[in-house]
């Protein structure tokens, strides 16, 4: 899933823009943003081909996937928030700074919210950008929770920053993050 | 039927914010792993935990393979009335595990 972005920059693949832009190959919702990016790439490749200069086509083609490489979490966040602005703050993430085993890492999230019917946390999203699937869990709360405090155990593939988004009842998004150093990764036995 | 553990008070005063802890025994197979001869092990996870209090949803979690095996969740709710708190876990095979806890409020 991650490796495909490197393959996109290959010139022979760019020569087949229609094949690249197949929407059904990118059916996963997390990759919708990817598909629009691919669409742009393909048009550029085609236009440059008409102009008769393959060298010009390569310049944007290389720079775009490079930006997309670390964009797994960014894409997941974009899908979740539907492009809404995210403000840092109000979310406290408590995780161990050093996790000996990535298979189970304790996570506690507290959101600064009065939890009333008019102003409460609707959902808490946990995202880890270096996991095979950036989205880890979404927890839906309501005013009846009384306090916006949840805890769970997650898997971490490697040392990374875990981002937590809080979706408020008024549509605002707040975020908090915590870096965790993982000494034994959760994906070690995935070979 | 998977083994579950639930920590939930049996009595509370009206308006009390109570903490509930849940755990279900489940291997949470990610779908990324392969067996000894290279075949992909299919994904099998608990994909949802829904908690209702007298039929009204108070907490729901949508799980991905990034949640650790034996998924644990802790959350809070406000004790409003005497009744049942129902916990429903659903896994990829469609198996539902349902547990109930009675809480007396007053």
How high is the ipTM of this complex?
A: 0.93
Tens digit of each residue's pLDDT (9 = 90 or more) over A80-130: 888 788 999 999 999 999 999 999 999 999 999 999 999 999 999 999 989
Among the candidates A27, A44, A69, a domain finishes at: A69
d(CA B20, CA B92): 24
Looking at the structure of chain B, the number of domains it has is 1
Q: Is the CB of residue B78 less than 8 Å from the CB of residue B16?
A: yes
Residue B48 lies in domain: 4-105
Q: Within an 8 Å CB–CB cutoff, is residue B29 touching chain A?
A: no
How far off is chain B from A42, nearest CA to CA, in Å? Answer: 30
Residue A63 lies in domain: 4-69
Contact assignment for A137 to B67 by CB distance below 8 Å: yes
Q: Within an 8 Å CB–CB cutoff, is residue A139 touching chain B?
A: yes
Q: Within an 8 Å CB–CB cutoff, is residue B27 touching chain A?
A: no
A185 and A98 within one domain = yes
Looking at the structure of chain A, the number of domains it has is 2
- Domain of B65: which CATH number? 2.60.40.10
Bridge partner list, A151: A108, B74
Give the contacts of B104 (CB within 8 A, at least 6 positions apart).
B10, B11, B12, B82
Q: Pairing mode, if any, of strands A135-140 and A121-128? A: antiparallel
Q: Is the CB of residue A123 less than 8 Å from the CB of residue A81?
A: no
Both tokens assigned to B37: 């001869």
- Domain of A144: which CATH number? 2.60.40.2470
pLDDT tens track of chain B, all 106 residues? Answer: 689 999 999 999 999 999 999 999 999 999 989 989 999 999 999 999 999 999 999 999 999 999 999 999 999 999 999 999 999 999 999 999 999 999 999 8
Residue A14 lies in a domain: yes
- With tokens 């036995």, the residue in question is A189
């Amino acid at each position: 899933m991650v490796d495909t972005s490197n393959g996109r920059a290959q010139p022979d693949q760019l020569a087949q823009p229609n094949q690249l832009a197949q929407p059904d190959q990118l059916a996963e919702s997390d990759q919708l943003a990817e598909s629009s990016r691919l669409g742009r790439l393909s048009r550029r490749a085609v236009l440059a081909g008409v102009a008769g200069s393959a060298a010009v086509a390569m310049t944007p083609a290389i720079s775009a996937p490079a930006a997309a490489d670390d964009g797994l979490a960014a894409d997941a966040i974009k899908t979740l928030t539907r492009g809404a602005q995210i403000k840092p703050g109000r979310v406290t993430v408590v995780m161990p700074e050093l996790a000996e085993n990535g298979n189970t890492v304790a996570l506690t999230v507290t959101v600064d919210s009065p939890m009333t019917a008019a102003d409460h946390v609707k959902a808490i999203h946990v995202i880890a950008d270096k996991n095979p699937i950036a989205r880890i869990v979404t927890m839906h709360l309501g005013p009846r929770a009384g306090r916006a405090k949840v805890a769970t155990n997650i898997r971490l593939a490697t040392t990374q920053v875990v981002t937590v988004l809080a979706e408020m009842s008024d549509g605002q998004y707040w975020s908090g993050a915590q870096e965790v150093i993982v000494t034994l990764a959760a994906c070690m036995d995935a070979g | 039927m998977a083994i579950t553990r639930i920590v939930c008070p049996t009595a509370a005063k009206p308006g009390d914010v109570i903490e509930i802890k849940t755990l279900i025994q489940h291997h949470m197979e990610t779908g990324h792993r392969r067996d000894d001869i290279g075949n992909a092990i299919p994904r099998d996870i608990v994909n949802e935990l829904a908690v209702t209090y007298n039929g009204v949803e108070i907490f729901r979690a949508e799980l991905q393979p990034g949640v650790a095996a034996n998924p644990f969740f802790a959350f809070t709710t406000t004790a409003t009335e005497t009744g049942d708190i129902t916990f429903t876990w659903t896994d990829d095979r469609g198996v539902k595990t349902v547990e109930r806890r009675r809480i007396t409020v007053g």
